[in-house]
């Protein structure tokens, strides 16, 4: 059976488990698998570029809402400035100290931090800068989308991951190591594929920072 959608995946999982009383639980096994993948998987398909224009009419223009599918930040740049200035991350306390030093003056942002589901910029923006962020996003859930890039690219990751989550529930401890090994192998091969795709332009070269070859 081709595992190219949520329904087919559930049927295949039920077939592997050889149980006809788990249909209502299989979506939970898949959801648990997705939660683990969102914590552990790092591949280029999870990177997203997004832009937003700062609203200077807002009462707090230094705060920008994070995308709904945000997990972690890779970089933030001021796309509308010459050279597309890259902002430097500061921890919340460090940013507060910096704000105290500059007496909360406005200007071109230099630093950012993340507070809850918002980005805080400092200094407070004095213009409608275009912010470009590259971040790690969550995997589109199968229950909401029917399919996604991961199921298309690596259906074995979903299959073995869901079977691994099912094993403790059905008290089949002897299968945990089997499905766990298969799941780990699938994750590893997918990660290696991601590295190859990211660096296939040529051999890696060591370069000292600040020195142009």
- 112-132 pLDDT, tens per residue? 999 999 999 999 999 999 999
pLDDT digits (tens, 9 = 90+) for 150-184: 999 999 999 999 999 999 898 877 788 899 999 99
Number of domains, the chain: 2
The answer to whether residue 185 is domain-embedded is yes
**DSSP SS3 for 135:** strand
Whether residue 133 is found in the same domain as residue 143: no
For residue 61, give its domain range: 45-137
Q: Are residues 54 and 18 in the same domain?
A: no
Q: Are 129 and 143 in a shared domain?
A: no
Q: What is the pLDDT of residues 7-23, one digit of tens each?
A: 999 999 999 998 888 99
> Which pTM value belongs to this model?
0.80
């Amino acid at each position: 059976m081709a595992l190219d959608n949520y329904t087919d995946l559930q049927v295949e999982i039920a077939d592997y488990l050889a149980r006809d009383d788990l249909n209502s639980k299989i979506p939970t096994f898949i959801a648990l698998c997705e939660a683990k993948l969102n914590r552990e998987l790092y591949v280029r398909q999870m990177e997203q570029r997004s832009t937003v224009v700062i609203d200077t009419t807002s009462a707090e223009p230094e705060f920008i809402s994070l995308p709904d599918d945000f997990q972690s930040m890779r970089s933030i740049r001021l796309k509308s400035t010459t050279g597309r200035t890259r902002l430097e991350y500061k921890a919340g306390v460090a940013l507060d100290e910096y704000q105290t030093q500059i007496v909360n003056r406005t200007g071109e942002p230099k630093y950012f931090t993340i507070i809850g589901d918002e980005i805080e910029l400092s200094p407070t923006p004095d213009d409608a800068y275009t912010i470009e962020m590259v971040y790690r996003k969550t995997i589109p859930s199968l229950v909401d989308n029917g399919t996604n890039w991961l199921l298309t690219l690596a259906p074995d990751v979903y299959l073995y991951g869901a079977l691994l989550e099912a094993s403790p529930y059905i008290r089949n401890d002897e299968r945990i190591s089997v499905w766990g090994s298969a799941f780990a192998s699938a994750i590893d091969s997918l990660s290696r594929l991601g590295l190859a795709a990211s660096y296939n332009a040529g051999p890696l070269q060591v370069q000292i920072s600040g020195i142009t070859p």
